[in-house]
Amino acid sequence: MTAPAIVLVADGPDDPPVTNALNAIVRSLQDSRPDLRVALGRLGAGTPRVERVLAELEADDIAEAVLVPLDLVSAAEHDPELDELVHSPHIRLAVSRPVGPASEVLNILDERVREALHRGGALEIDGLVLAAPAGGDVRGTSLLARRARQWSAHHRLPVLLAVETGDGRATATAVQSLRHQGRRHIAAGSLYLTPTPDYRAHAQAAFHAGAVAVTAPLGETPHLSLLILARYAFGAMELLDGTPTKLPDGLDNEDS
């Protein structure tokens, strides 16, 4: 039997910048794992819809697939719509944990900060904002706060967490708060996967509030591919033994 297919599940608008970024992630996975069938399915207004992707897999006689939610702010919960799909009589499905705010994303953010500083010609920073979209689960929200503390300890700089609702106000408030503390070279790290309108609002607000650099969305990166493949692997184990797979508490790196 062939390995289960990977279906990356993404939300967000169906516009070219977002679609191009998601397709780049798919291509990266295909390049790193040519033995696996990799597909992209969308929720909400995006296309192609997850249901259509699953129908195409069924038509190609794919027997199993793991759905991996590309959600960077939820650690355990996923869209309830996916629960309705796993009971398909034609293909065996498992839903993995979301990518979530894993500790590895800080490595990606460090890369994006260096790129943003280079683009803006900035030489140093004395404060950071970690900005993420709202909507995560309780565990994800707790991990986001932990990531902010870890980022602060790593760089020995003050880091404020901004949880955005789409208008950029949380980012602007965080930047202004750091400026009131006397910080003048502030960078905003963007925990957004693709350049959605919410990301663009956050970036614009950060610059208007005085940030010297705003990172690009995480997008395609080897770190992200490894995270996706890790989520996929545990989902595939669930398909193998027919029971939900959960990391023992002592081995759950998300708590580190």
Q: What is the mean pLDDT of residues 6-16?
A: 91
**Per-residue pLDDT tens over the stretch 22-64:** 999 999 999 999 999 999 999 988 899 999 999 999 999 999 9
Contact 2, 34 (CB under 8 A): no
What whole-number distance in Å separates Cα of residue 22 and Cα of residue 41?
A: 10
What whole-number distance in Å separates Cα of residue 160 and Cα of residue 154?
A: 14
Contact 71, 184 (CB under 8 A): no
Examine the domain organization and report whether 96 and 109 are in the same domain. no
Which CATH number covers residue 93? 3.40.50.1400
Contact 104, 223 (CB under 8 A): yes
The two beta strands, 92-95 and 159-164, are unpaired
Examine the domain organization and report whether 125 and 81 are in the same domain. no
Examine the domain organization and report whether 162 and 140 are in the same domain. yes
Examine the domain organization and report whether 66 and 122 are in the same domain. no
Does the pLDDT value for residue 186 go beyond 90?
Answer: yes
Q: What is the mean pLDDT of residues 62-91?
A: 91
DSSP string covering 217-239: P--S-HHHHHHHHHHHHHHHHHH
Domain count, the chain: 2
Range of the domain at 52: 5-100+221-255
What whole-number distance in Å separates Cα of residue 215 and Cα of residue 26?
A: 22
pLDDT at 242: 56
Q: What is the mean pLDDT of residues 129-157?
A: 97
- What DSSP state is assigned to residue 182? T
Helical (H) or strand (E) element with 244: none
pLDDT at 251: 33
Does the pLDDT value for residue 156 go beyond 60?
Answer: yes
pLDDT at 218: 97
Token code pair at residue 32:
């790193």
pLDDT at 256: 45
pLDDT at 241: 63
Examine the domain organization and report whether 33 and 63 are in the same domain. yes
Is the backbone peptide bond immediately before 48 cis, with ω within 30 degrees of 0?
yes
Amino acid in the structure at residue 223: H
DSSP string covering 88-134: -SSSEEEEPPP--S-TTHHHHHHHHHHHHHHHHT----SEEEEEEES
Does the pLDDT value for residue 71 go beyond 60?
Answer: yes
Token code pair at residue 123:
């030489």
pLDDT at 1: 54
Examine the domain organization and report whether 111 and 210 are in the same domain. yes
* Mean pLDDT, all residues of the chain: 91
What whole-number distance in Å separates Cα of residue 116 and Cα of residue 157?
A: 17
Q: Which residues pair with 156 in a beta bridge?
A: none
